[in-house]
Amino acid sequence: MASDRPAMANSARPAPARAAFYNDPKVRSLAYQVLLCAVVAFLVWGAISNAVDNLRRANIASGFGFWDNTAGFDISQTLISYSSDASTYGRAFWVGLLNTLLVAALGIVFATIIGFLVGIGRLSSNWLVAKFCGAYVETIRNIPLLLQLLFWYNAVLKTLPGIRESLSLFGGGFINNRGLFLPQPQFGAGAGVVLVALALGLAGAFVYRYRARKRQMRTGVQAPVLWVSLALIVGLPLAALIATGFPVSFTFPEMGRFNINGGVEVLPEFVALLLGLSIYTAAFIAEVVRAGIRAVPHGQTEAAYSLGLRPGPALRFIVIPQAMRVIVPPLTSQYLNLTKNSSLAVAIGYPDLVQIFTGTVLNQTGQAVEVVAITMAVYLAISLVTSLAMNLYNRRVALVER
Amino acid sequence: MTMSEGDLAVTQLAFVRREPIAPLPPPAMMTGPLAWVRDNLLSSALNIILTLAMALLAVWIIYEILDFLIFTAVWTGADREACLVSPAQPVVGACWPFIKERAAYSVYASYPIPERWRVDIFFAMLAAGIVWLLWLNAPRRDIGAVYFFVVVPVVSYILLTGWPLIGLPAVDTALWGGVLVTIVVAWAGIVVSLPVGIVLALGRRSAMPTVRTFSVIFIEFVRGVPLITVLFMASVMLPLFVPDQWSPDKLLRAIVGIALFASAYMAEVVRAGLAAIPKGQYEGAQAVGLGYWQMMRFIVLPQALTITIPNIVNTYIGLFKDTTLVFIVGIFDFLRTVEVARIDPKWATPVTSTTGYAVAAIFYFVFCYGMSRYARATEARLAKSERR
């Protein structure tokens, strides 16, 4: 504040009239800061003492002792073993966190795919494609996510036919108002070999690419990286699959009288949340991608053409690397938004962290402060780790200026 | 066989053209609608396929929407019977009588019927303020700002909650709902978040370490957590933190949560604007002897806020969409009234939910799209000075 003013020091002239001490920028700055600290400390102290009073009056326990108590409620989707009568609140927390991470991870994959397609589509020279993608972005971005989730859940998935009239999907799955039923892969003996082959193929492709690039740097000779990588990543596991006699089989869901047996059951809440999050975030990612590509000056493309690069390589070697520098930071913040927005699961009853913890656990224990604090800490930790990674990335790709 | 220029010169050439070739005929179409179609829709095989696929998709989507909302829609009826599939109407679209009957509830919810004129006056005052501020050639926009940010809040608070002394019976906020609550929450967020955001942004750029630290902690904390957890905090933790007798009512808690959340995002938007002002502006202001607050008020903030208007409006769009989340902490906002209406047994049919959501989507879309158009127009207007 006042310290922004340059200090009035000039030794050549006779000493200027001294200002009163309360006009000294340093004193003022110190006074403001002490005052601010006092106010904040007073507010915090007031909040804590009130909370202690109120909690004592309401007879609510405090502390994290509830973590090891038996939870006693059921969760409809558990990635790790969990039972209502034996598992603790702590276990429920991990179940919820994993459910959040699962929907966030899948949502990020789908949103990225749709978002990049739409974002590039908006820049298409085909007028209809560009307008269509523009309409998608404008519509989806201007309707609240919560409304979209409710729409997918209540108006689309819940109005699907019941078990008896399940719609069959291509590839042997079913979809009805109780969820999505998909074939489940079963791994027999020898499946490990296929996995090892896949890992070897990936590693081999990586090494090949690295060496090919080095050789190109040295001699200028290009290597068919794409085809060799494809052969290694797809061909090797395929060969292993044939050699071991197809150890992977699928159990298909079967229509029973009242139920569908076998296969993987995906909750309708999960499907709705995944659809809503992917479609909503994709609209924002599309804008990020469009802005990123537009940020590369046209002269770069023209220069690439005049060097003799064809449109494909020009895009791959000139435009995309420069666009990614612009795209990645806002893209990451969209990923974070998607993760945070997955907390809207609470509105449609998908058992994510917020639904389990700030919903059920908070209602059962009444320990609002601890429960909300833990939930916030989880999201905060995810945000901080991501922004840390982002800062590292930015430092790596930052333009080196003179 | 490789050949250098020298070789070329001595090679016996079989044929050398001695006169220029006749010029090619001009391209058949360079302008006009047909040329446009060829260039923009049918320029290559891939584009032809894409155009056809997109055209089919677009026609299908638009037809489905129109079909549902208009062609097969039910326009009159007294209850769910009208919107059920029957031999007379094998396909049923939107159920409009349901919307007509529940419209008043969606706007006012449980606000007492004889007092609803107060809500209407509130909407009118707000609309007048918005027009005054957004219409660039309106007279005395400075008074408009005071009206919007000071007069309307005070008057509408008295009007909506009531003041028995002047003959307005008190209306408990538990009775508020529908569009009224959505607008109140959004607008309270808008009015609070801008000044708080400016203060936080200035704090984050301050030279005083404690001011900077507190601002950074607040901004990064709020931006790092989902709005739902902030709302949960406001609704279950806020009552713990204040003495019992001051415990804020439910609506106020939600407004506090939304306003704090929006303020943190606003602070980052304003900070970006402050960072975009050249250092020379700060130095020039200091050189003419302005103090910190004078420099900010007369030199820096007017420029910074002007270039930030589009981003501020974008934050407002986010805020407006986020007001739907108060639904989760038990406030009767517009979306909640739609939720309640659609499960009303009197109207429960397979199309009721979709009809309700369609109307809600149109409502939010109109507001948000309007704001985004305004932001874009402002951006274009500001960019005019950059164009040569």
Q: From A101, A143, A140, select the one nearest A286 (Cα to Cα).
A: A140
Instruction: Judge whether A28 is closer than 8 Å to chain B, CB to CB.
Output: no
DSSP 8-state assignment for residue A70: B
pLDDT score at A136: 94
Task: Give per-residue pLDDT as tens, A68-77.
Answer: 888 888 888 8
Q: Are A132 and B229 inside 8 Å of each other by CB?
A: no
pLDDT for residue B376 is more than 60: yes
Q: Which of B95, B199, B225 to probe by mutation at the A interface, max A CB count within 10 Å? A: B225
**Among residues of chain B, what percentage have pLDDT more than 90?**
40
Predicted local distance difference test score (pLDDT) of residue A300: 92
Q: Closest Cα to residue A122, out of A278, A293, A279, A276?
A: A293
Round to whole Å and give the CA distance between A201 and A235: 8
Structure tokens at A234: 């797809």
d(CA B130, CA B44): 48
Of A47, A376, A380, the CB nearest to B241: A47
Decide if B225 and A37 are in contact by the 8 Å CB cutoff. Answer: no
Residue range B109-124: mean pLDDT, rounded: 89
pLDDT at position A274 over 60: yes
Q: At what angle do helices A268-294 and A320-341 cross, to 10 degrees?
A: 150
Cβ <8 Å between A5 and B369 = no
| A324 HSE (CA, 13 A, CB side) | 11
Inter-chain touch A372–B229, beta carbons under 8 Å:
yes
Q: Looking at residues B48-65, what average pLDDT do you find?
A: 92
Averaged pLDDT, A130-154: 94
Residue in B closest to A145 by C-alpha:
B321
Cα–Cα distance, B89 to B97 (Å, whole number): 16
A383 at the B interface (CB within 8 A)? yes
pLDDT at residue A289, rounded to an integer: 93
To the nearest whole Å, the CA of A38 is away from the closest chain B CA by 11
Q: Is B208 on the interface with A (CB under 8 A)?
A: yes
- Chain B, residues 322-341, CB within 8 A of chain A, namely 322, 324-325, 327-328, 335, 339
Residue A183, burial from CB neighbour count under 10 angstroms (0-12, 13-18, 19+) = middle
What's the complex ipTM?
0.87
User: CB contact, 8 Å: A374 with chain B?
Assistant: no
B303 in A contact zone (CB under 8 Å): no
- Cβ contact A384–B224 (<8 Å): yes
Most confident range (mean pLDDT) of A174-183, A369-378, A391-400 is: A369-378
pLDDT category of residue A110 using cuts at 50, 70 and 90: very high
Chain A with chain B: Cβ pairs closer than 8 A: 172
User: In this predicted structure, what is the pLDDT of residue A364?
Assistant: 86
Is B69's Cβ below 8 Å from some Cβ in A? no
| Set of chain B residues whose Cβ sits within 8 Å of the Cβ of A126 | 40-41, 43, 47, 50-51, 54
Chain B environment of A145 (Cβ under 8 Å): 321
Average pLDDT estimate for A305-322: 88
Q: So what's the pLDDT on residue A223?
A: 81
Q: What is the pLDDT of residue B5?
A: 55
Edge to edge, the sheet with strand A174-176 lists A167-168, A174-176, A179-182, A264-266
- Mean pLDDT across the stretch A21-36? 86
Mean pLDDT value of segment A321-335: 89
* Lowest-confidence region among A119-128, A246-255, B216-225: A246-255
Q: What is the DSSP code string of B54-90?
A: HHHHHHHHHHHHHIIIIIT-B---SSGGGGS--SS-S
Residue A118 Cα, gap to closest chain B Cα (Å): 13
> Contact B241/A46, CB-based, under 8 Å?
yes
Residue B108 near residue B178, CB atoms below 8 Å: yes
Residue A13 — very low, low, confident or very high, per pLDDT cuts 50/70/90?
low
Inter-chain CB proximity B236 and A375 less than 8 Å: no
pLDDT score of A253: 78
Q: Where are the domains of chain B?
A: 34-71, 180-325+358-386
The one-character DSSP state at B163 is: B
- Evaluate if residue A261 carries a pLDDT over 80: no
Contact B364 A142 (CB under 8 A): yes
Please report residues of A whose CB lies closer than 8 A to that of B335: 144, 146-147, 150
Which of B39, B50, B54 is best to mutate for the A interface (most A CBs within 10 A)?
A: B54
Average predicted confidence (pLDDT) for chain A: 85
Q: What top-level class would CATH report for the domain B180-325+358-386? A: mainly alpha
Query: Taking residues B310-325, what's their average pLDDT?
Result: 92
Q: Which of A22, A388, A391, A3 is nearest to B209 (CA)?
A: A3
* pLDDT (0 to 100) of residue B111: 86
pLDDT per residue over B204-234, tens digit each? 999 899 999 999 999 999 999 999 999 988 8
Residue A369 has pLDDT above 90, yes or no: no
Residues 102-161 of A with CB under 8 A from B: 124-129, 132, 138-139, 141-147, 150-151, 154-155, 158-159
Average pLDDT over residues B51-59: 92
- In this predicted structure, what is the pLDDT of residue B45? 85
pLDDT higher than threshold 90 for residue B58: yes
Give the span between the Cα atoms of B269 and B223, in whole angstroms.
12
Q: What is the pLDDT of residue A343?
A: 93
CA torsion sign for B25, B30, B34, B39 is positive
Confidence at B380, pLDDT banded by 50, 70, 90: confident
Q: Which of B40, B211, B239 faces A125 most closely, judged by CB atoms?
A: B40
Q: What pLDDT does A86 receive? A: 82
The Cα–Cα gap between A72 and A308 comes to 69
B151 reaches A (C-beta below 8 A): no
First-to-last alpha carbon distance for chain A, in angstroms, is 33
Provide the pLDDT confidence category of residue B195 given band limits of 50, 70 and 90: very high
User: Minimal Cα distance from A128: which residue of B?
Assistant: B51
- Residues B155-186 as b or e (16 or more Cβ within 10 Å = b): ebeebbebeeeeeeeebebeebbbbbbbbbbb
What average pLDDT does this structure show over A242-264? 75
Using the Cβ of A51 and the Cβ atoms of chain B, whether some distance falls under 8 Å is answered with: yes
Contacts of A129 in chain B (CB under 8 A): 50-51, 54
- B-chain residue closest to A55, CA distance: B240
CB distance A358–B229 less than 8 Å? yes
Q: A343 touching B, CB under 8 A? A: yes
Interchain proximity B339–A126, CB inside 8 Å: no
Asked if pLDDT for residue B252 goes beyond 50, the answer is yes
Lowest-pLDDT choice from A180-194, B85-99, B148-162, B364-378: A180-194
Is the pLDDT at B1 greater than 50? The verdict is: no
B322 has a pLDDT exceeding 70: yes
Instruction: Report which of residues A301 and A263 the model is more confident about.
Output: A301
Q: What are phi and psi of A255, to 5 degrees?
A: -75, 120
CB contact under 8 A, B210 and A362: no
Sort out which chain B residues have CB atoms less than 8 A from A376's CB and list them: 225, 229, 233
Among the partner residues A125, A159, A354, nearest to B228 by beta-carbon distance: A354
- Residue predicted with more confidence, A256 or A183: A183
Is there a contact between B43 and A33 if contact means CB atoms under 8 Å apart?
no
Contact: B241, A51; criterion CB under 8 Å: yes
How high is the mean pLDDT of chain B? 87
Beta-carbon separation of B51 and A128 below 8 A: yes
- Name the closest residue on chain A to residue B43, using Cα atoms: A126
Give me the residues of B, 15-44, that contact A with CB < 8 A: 39-41, 43
Assess contact for B259 and B192: CB atoms under 8 A: yes
Smallest Cβ–Cβ distance between A372 and the set B236, B339, B357 belongs to: B236
Closest CA to B135 of B387, B330, B379, B374: B374
Mean pLDDT value of segment A25-51: 89
Within an 8 Å CB–CB cutoff, is residue B199 touching chain A?
no
